[in-house]
Amino acid sequence: MIIERFAPSPTGFLHLGHAYSAYLGYKSAQNVEDKFLLRIEDIDFNRSKKKYENQIYSDLHWLGIKYEEPVLLQSTRLIAYNNKLKELWNCRHLFACNCTRKDIEISAAPQENGVPLAGPDGKIYPGTCLSNHQPLDMPEDALRLNMHNIKKNNFYFDDMEFGKVSFTKKDVIDNIGSVIIARKDIGISYHLSVVLDDAFQGITHVTRGADLLEATKIHVILQHLLGLPTPIYRHHRLIRDNTGRRLAKRDDSKSIKSYREAGFTPKDIISMFD
Ligand code: GLU
Protein backbone atom coordinates (compact mmCIF):
# COMPACT_ATOMS: atom_id res chain seq x y z
CA MET A 1 0.00 0.00 0.00
CA ILE A 2 1.32 3.43 -0.95
CA ILE A 3 0.44 6.55 1.02
CA GLU A 4 1.71 9.61 -0.84
CA ARG A 5 1.27 13.23 -0.06
CA PHE A 6 1.53 16.62 -1.70
CA ALA A 7 2.53 19.28 0.83
CA PRO A 8 2.54 22.79 -0.65
CA SER A 9 3.05 25.98 1.36
CA PRO A 10 0.35 28.56 0.60
CA THR A 11 2.87 31.36 0.23
CA GLY A 12 2.40 31.85 -3.52
CA PHE A 13 0.68 30.31 -6.52
CA LEU A 14 1.52 26.74 -7.52
CA HIS A 15 3.88 26.60 -10.48
CA LEU A 16 4.73 23.84 -12.93
CA GLY A 17 7.27 22.31 -10.52
CA HIS A 18 4.64 21.88 -7.81
CA ALA A 19 2.17 20.46 -10.30
CA TYR A 20 4.82 17.97 -11.42
CA SER A 21 5.38 16.78 -7.80
CA ALA A 22 1.64 16.50 -7.23
CA TYR A 23 1.10 14.69 -10.53
CA LEU A 24 3.89 12.14 -9.97
CA GLY A 25 2.77 11.48 -6.39
CA TYR A 26 -0.86 11.12 -7.44
CA LYS A 27 0.00 8.77 -10.32
CA SER A 28 2.05 6.53 -8.06
CA ALA A 29 -0.83 6.01 -5.60
CA GLN A 30 -3.50 4.62 -7.91
CA ASN A 31 -4.11 1.12 -6.57
CA VAL A 32 -7.39 0.64 -4.67
CA GLU A 33 -5.75 0.53 -1.26
CA ASP A 34 -3.37 3.47 -1.97
CA LYS A 35 -3.97 6.98 -0.68
CA PHE A 36 -2.99 10.38 -1.96
CA LEU A 37 -3.12 13.06 0.76
CA LEU A 38 -2.89 16.83 0.66
CA ARG A 39 -1.22 18.75 3.47
CA ILE A 40 -1.18 22.53 3.57
CA GLU A 41 2.12 23.67 5.11
CA ASP A 42 0.92 26.98 6.52
CA ILE A 43 3.19 27.37 9.55
CA ASP A 44 4.72 30.60 8.27
CA PHE A 45 1.81 32.77 9.35
CA ASN A 46 3.43 35.93 7.96
CA ARG A 47 3.62 34.60 4.40
CA SER A 48 0.75 32.08 4.20
CA LYS A 49 -2.44 33.43 2.63
CA LYS A 50 -5.95 31.96 2.30
CA LYS A 51 -6.12 33.09 -1.33
CA TYR A 52 -3.11 30.89 -2.15
CA GLU A 53 -4.56 27.97 -0.22
CA ASN A 54 -7.86 28.25 -2.11
CA GLN A 55 -6.02 28.46 -5.40
CA ILE A 56 -4.16 25.21 -4.53
CA TYR A 57 -7.50 23.39 -4.13
CA SER A 58 -8.79 24.91 -7.34
CA ASP A 59 -5.62 24.13 -9.37
CA LEU A 60 -5.48 20.50 -8.19
CA HIS A 61 -9.15 20.06 -8.99
CA TRP A 62 -8.60 21.56 -12.44
CA LEU A 63 -5.61 19.23 -13.05
CA GLY A 64 -7.76 16.23 -12.08
CA ILE A 65 -5.56 15.41 -9.06
CA LYS A 66 -7.86 13.96 -6.39
CA TYR A 67 -6.86 13.82 -2.74
CA GLU A 68 -8.52 12.40 0.35
CA GLU A 69 -10.46 14.63 2.74
CA PRO A 70 -9.96 16.08 5.29
CA VAL A 71 -6.91 18.07 4.27
CA LEU A 72 -4.35 18.45 7.07
CA LEU A 73 -3.40 22.05 7.88
CA GLN A 74 -0.09 22.38 9.72
CA SER A 75 -1.42 25.40 11.61
CA THR A 76 -3.61 22.92 13.55
CA ARG A 77 -0.59 20.92 14.71
CA LEU A 78 1.43 23.48 16.66
CA ILE A 79 0.99 21.75 20.05
CA ALA A 80 2.26 18.44 18.68
CA TYR A 81 5.30 20.21 17.18
CA ASN A 82 6.05 21.94 20.44
CA ASN A 83 5.92 18.68 22.40
CA LYS A 84 8.48 17.11 20.08
CA LEU A 85 10.66 20.21 20.23
CA LYS A 86 10.73 19.85 24.02
CA GLU A 87 11.71 16.20 23.65
CA LEU A 88 14.62 17.13 21.36
CA TRP A 89 15.61 19.97 23.69
CA ASN A 90 15.59 17.74 26.78
CA CYS A 91 17.81 15.21 25.01
CA ARG A 92 20.26 18.03 24.16
CA HIS A 93 19.77 17.66 20.44
CA LEU A 94 19.06 21.40 20.09
CA PHE A 95 20.86 24.55 21.11
CA ALA A 96 19.61 28.09 21.40
CA CYS A 97 20.96 30.64 18.94
CA ASN A 98 20.38 34.35 18.67
CA CYS A 99 22.81 35.06 15.83
CA THR A 100 21.56 37.36 13.11
CA ARG A 101 22.33 36.77 9.43
CA LYS A 102 24.95 39.46 9.76
CA ASP A 103 26.62 37.66 12.71
CA ILE A 104 26.81 34.52 10.58
CA GLU A 105 28.42 36.45 7.69
CA ILE A 106 30.99 37.94 10.06
CA SER A 107 32.05 34.63 11.66
CA ALA A 108 32.77 33.22 8.21
CA ALA A 109 34.58 29.91 7.84
CA PRO A 110 38.23 30.85 7.23
CA GLN A 111 38.79 28.17 4.57
CA GLU A 112 36.31 29.98 2.36
CA ASN A 113 38.21 33.30 2.26
CA GLY A 114 35.78 34.87 4.68
CA VAL A 115 32.70 33.80 2.73
CA PRO A 116 30.58 31.30 4.67
CA LEU A 117 29.78 28.10 2.78
CA ALA A 118 26.21 27.94 1.53
CA GLY A 119 24.02 24.97 2.50
CA PRO A 120 20.41 24.24 1.50
CA ASP A 121 19.14 26.68 4.14
CA GLY A 122 21.52 29.49 3.23
CA LYS A 123 24.91 30.22 4.76
CA ILE A 124 26.32 27.33 6.78
CA TYR A 125 26.13 28.21 10.44
CA PRO A 126 29.64 28.72 11.90
CA GLY A 127 28.76 27.19 15.30
CA THR A 128 28.95 30.43 17.31
CA CYS A 129 26.31 29.50 19.95
CA LEU A 130 27.06 25.77 19.98
CA SER A 131 28.88 25.82 23.30
CA ASN A 132 26.36 28.05 25.14
CA HIS A 133 25.34 26.63 28.49
CA GLN A 134 21.92 24.97 28.10
CA PRO A 135 19.23 26.43 30.40
CA LEU A 136 16.67 24.04 31.86
CA ASP A 137 13.65 25.55 30.14
CA MET A 138 13.46 25.91 26.41
CA PRO A 139 14.34 29.53 25.56
CA GLU A 140 12.52 31.62 22.97
CA ASP A 141 15.55 31.97 20.72
CA ALA A 142 15.89 30.12 17.46
CA LEU A 143 16.76 26.47 18.13
CA ARG A 144 19.33 24.71 15.96
CA LEU A 145 20.12 21.02 15.57
CA ASN A 146 23.25 20.00 17.47
CA MET A 147 24.77 17.56 15.01
CA HIS A 148 27.74 16.91 17.30
CA ASN A 149 25.59 15.24 19.97
CA ILE A 150 24.33 12.59 17.56
CA LYS A 151 25.92 9.19 18.20
CA LYS A 152 25.12 7.56 14.86
CA ASN A 153 27.59 8.24 12.03
CA ASN A 154 26.12 6.60 8.94
CA PHE A 155 22.70 7.24 7.45
CA TYR A 156 20.86 6.40 4.24
CA PHE A 157 17.51 6.60 2.54
CA ASP A 158 16.06 4.85 -0.50
CA ASP A 159 15.24 7.02 -3.47
CA MET A 160 13.30 5.94 -6.55
CA GLU A 161 15.45 8.15 -8.81
CA PHE A 162 18.86 7.97 -7.12
CA GLY A 163 18.81 4.48 -5.51
CA LYS A 164 20.30 4.14 -2.03
CA VAL A 165 21.58 7.54 -0.89
CA SER A 166 24.19 7.12 1.86
CA PHE A 167 25.68 9.98 3.86
CA THR A 168 27.60 10.48 7.06
CA LYS A 169 27.15 12.77 10.04
CA LYS A 170 30.36 14.49 8.98
CA ASP A 171 28.96 15.18 5.47
CA VAL A 172 26.01 16.91 7.09
CA ILE A 173 28.18 18.89 9.53
CA ASP A 174 30.47 20.05 6.70
CA ASN A 175 27.93 20.71 3.96
CA ILE A 176 24.65 21.54 5.67
CA GLY A 177 25.56 22.57 9.21
CA SER A 178 23.36 23.17 12.25
CA VAL A 179 20.03 23.98 10.64
CA ILE A 180 17.21 25.80 12.40
CA ILE A 181 14.63 23.44 13.89
CA ALA A 182 12.53 26.17 15.52
CA ARG A 183 12.51 29.64 14.02
CA LYS A 184 12.35 32.47 16.53
CA ASP A 185 9.39 34.13 14.75
CA ILE A 186 7.14 31.08 14.26
CA GLY A 187 8.46 28.66 16.90
CA ILE A 188 8.88 25.77 14.44
CA SER A 189 10.54 25.08 11.09
CA TYR A 190 9.79 23.24 7.89
CA HIS A 191 12.27 20.46 8.76
CA LEU A 192 10.62 19.34 11.97
CA SER A 193 7.00 19.87 10.94
CA VAL A 194 7.43 17.94 7.69
CA VAL A 195 9.05 14.98 9.48
CA LEU A 196 6.41 14.86 12.20
CA ASP A 197 3.53 15.12 9.76
CA ASP A 198 4.85 12.53 7.34
CA ALA A 199 4.94 10.12 10.30
CA PHE A 200 1.57 11.33 11.68
CA GLN A 201 -0.10 10.74 8.32
CA GLY A 202 1.60 7.35 7.81
CA ILE A 203 3.28 8.51 4.59
CA THR A 204 5.15 5.65 2.89
CA HIS A 205 6.36 7.57 -0.19
CA VAL A 206 7.44 11.21 -0.56
CA THR A 207 7.70 12.79 -4.01
CA ARG A 208 9.54 16.10 -4.09
CA GLY A 209 11.95 18.11 -6.25
CA ALA A 210 15.66 17.31 -6.42
CA ASP A 211 16.35 20.71 -4.82
CA LEU A 212 15.28 19.12 -1.51
CA LEU A 213 17.83 16.29 -1.63
CA GLU A 214 20.04 17.88 1.06
CA ALA A 215 17.04 18.79 3.22
CA THR A 216 15.99 15.13 3.11
CA LYS A 217 19.27 14.24 4.87
CA ILE A 218 18.20 16.44 7.79
CA HIS A 219 14.80 14.78 7.75
CA VAL A 220 16.37 11.31 7.91
CA ILE A 221 18.46 12.40 10.90
CA LEU A 222 15.39 13.82 12.66
CA GLN A 223 13.49 10.58 11.96
CA HIS A 224 16.35 8.70 13.60
CA LEU A 225 16.37 10.99 16.66
CA LEU A 226 12.61 10.77 17.10
CA GLY A 227 12.30 7.04 16.39
CA LEU A 228 10.14 7.62 13.29
CA PRO A 229 10.11 5.57 10.08
CA THR A 230 11.89 6.88 6.98
CA PRO A 231 9.61 6.87 3.92
CA ILE A 232 10.82 6.00 0.43
CA TYR A 233 11.71 9.21 -1.40
CA ARG A 234 11.54 10.22 -5.01
CA HIS A 235 13.49 13.39 -5.80
CA HIS A 236 12.34 14.24 -9.29
CA ARG A 237 14.09 16.44 -11.85
CA LEU A 238 13.37 20.14 -11.58
CA ILE A 239 11.17 21.89 -14.07
CA ARG A 240 13.13 24.89 -15.33
CA ASP A 241 12.16 27.99 -17.27
CA ASN A 242 13.54 28.57 -20.77
CA THR A 243 16.67 30.24 -19.38
CA GLY A 244 17.41 27.08 -17.32
CA ARG A 245 16.45 28.68 -14.00
CA ARG A 246 14.53 26.67 -11.41
CA LEU A 247 10.94 27.91 -11.14
CA ALA A 248 10.09 29.81 -7.98
CA LYS A 249 6.88 31.14 -6.50
CA ARG A 250 7.85 34.66 -7.54
CA ASP A 251 7.58 33.65 -11.23
CA ASP A 252 3.88 34.34 -11.53
CA SER A 253 4.02 33.92 -15.31
CA LYS A 254 4.73 30.20 -14.79
CA SER A 255 1.98 29.67 -12.24
CA ILE A 256 -0.75 27.14 -13.00
CA LYS A 257 -3.22 29.99 -12.50
CA SER A 258 -1.61 32.01 -15.28
CA TYR A 259 -1.56 29.00 -17.63
CA ARG A 260 -5.25 28.51 -16.93
CA GLU A 261 -5.97 32.16 -17.63
CA ALA A 262 -4.01 31.93 -20.88
CA GLY A 263 -6.31 29.13 -22.08
CA PHE A 264 -4.09 26.08 -21.50
CA THR A 265 -5.89 22.81 -20.74
CA PRO A 266 -4.92 20.34 -17.96
CA LYS A 267 -3.75 18.03 -20.77
CA ASP A 268 -1.37 20.73 -22.05
CA ILE A 269 0.17 20.99 -18.58
CA ILE A 270 0.50 17.21 -18.07
CA SER A 271 2.06 16.83 -21.55
CA MET A 272 4.91 19.11 -20.40
CA PHE A 273 5.85 16.44 -17.82
CA ASP A 274 6.18 13.44 -20.17
N1 GLU B 1 6.05 22.82 1.90
C2 GLU B 1 7.20 22.34 1.19
C3 GLU B 1 7.29 23.02 -0.15
O4 GLU B 1 6.28 23.51 -0.64
C5 GLU B 1 7.08 20.85 1.07
C6 GLU B 1 8.17 20.17 0.38
C7 GLU B 1 8.18 18.67 0.72
O8 GLU B 1 8.45 18.34 1.85
O9 GLU B 1 7.88 17.87 -0.13
O10 GLU B 1 8.36 23.14 -0.70
pLDDT at 119: 75
* 174 belongs to a structural domain: yes
- Between 111-120, 128-137, 211-220, the lowest mean confidence (pLDDT) is in 111-120
Same domain, yes or no: 62 and 106: no
Mean pLDDT, the chain, rounded, equals: 91
Same domain, yes or no: 96 and 223: yes
How far apart are the CA of 213 and the centre of ligand 1, in A? Answer: 12
Best residue among 41, 77, 198 to mutate for probing ligand 1's pocket (most ligand atoms within 8 Å of CB) is 41
Query: What mean pLDDT is predicted for residues 241-261?
Result: 75
Ligand 1 pocket (Cβ < 6 Å) reads 7-9, 41, 194, 208, 212
Same domain, yes or no: 53 and 113: no
Please count the structural domains in the chain: 2
Residues 6+ apart with CB under 8 A from 196: 77, 80, 81, 84, 226, 228
List the CATH number of the domain containing 154. 3.40.50.620
How far apart are the CA of 233 and the centre of ligand 1, in A? Answer: 13
Same domain, yes or no: 127 and 259: no
Same domain, yes or no: 57 and 100: no
Same domain, yes or no: 108 and 191: yes
* 184 belongs to a structural domain: yes
- Full domain range(s) for residue 97: 78-202+214-230
Q: What is the pLDDT of residues 200-249, one digit of tens each?
A: 999 999 999 999 999 999 999 999 999 999 999 999 998 876 666 666 66
How far apart are the CA of 117 and the centre of ligand 1, in A? Answer: 23
pTM of the model: 0.92
How far apart are the CA of 194 and the centre of ligand 1, in A? Answer: 8
pLDDT at 112: 52
Same domain, yes or no: 98 and 63: no
How far apart are the CA of 8 and the centre of ligand 1, in A? Answer: 5
Same domain, yes or no: 102 and 193: yes
20 and 246 Cβ atoms separated by less than 8 Å: no
* 13 belongs to a structural domain: yes
Q: How far apart are CA 217 and CA 235, in angstroms?
A: 12
Same domain, yes or no: 82 and 170: yes
Same domain, yes or no: 160 and 137: yes
pLDDT at 95: 94
pLDDT at 135: 82
Pairwise pLDDT comparison (120 vs 216), residue with the higher score: 216
Atom of ligand 1 nearest to the CA of 194: 8
Same domain, yes or no: 225 and 99: yes
Q: What is the pLDDT of residues 152-169, one digit of tens each?
A: 999 999 999 999 999 999
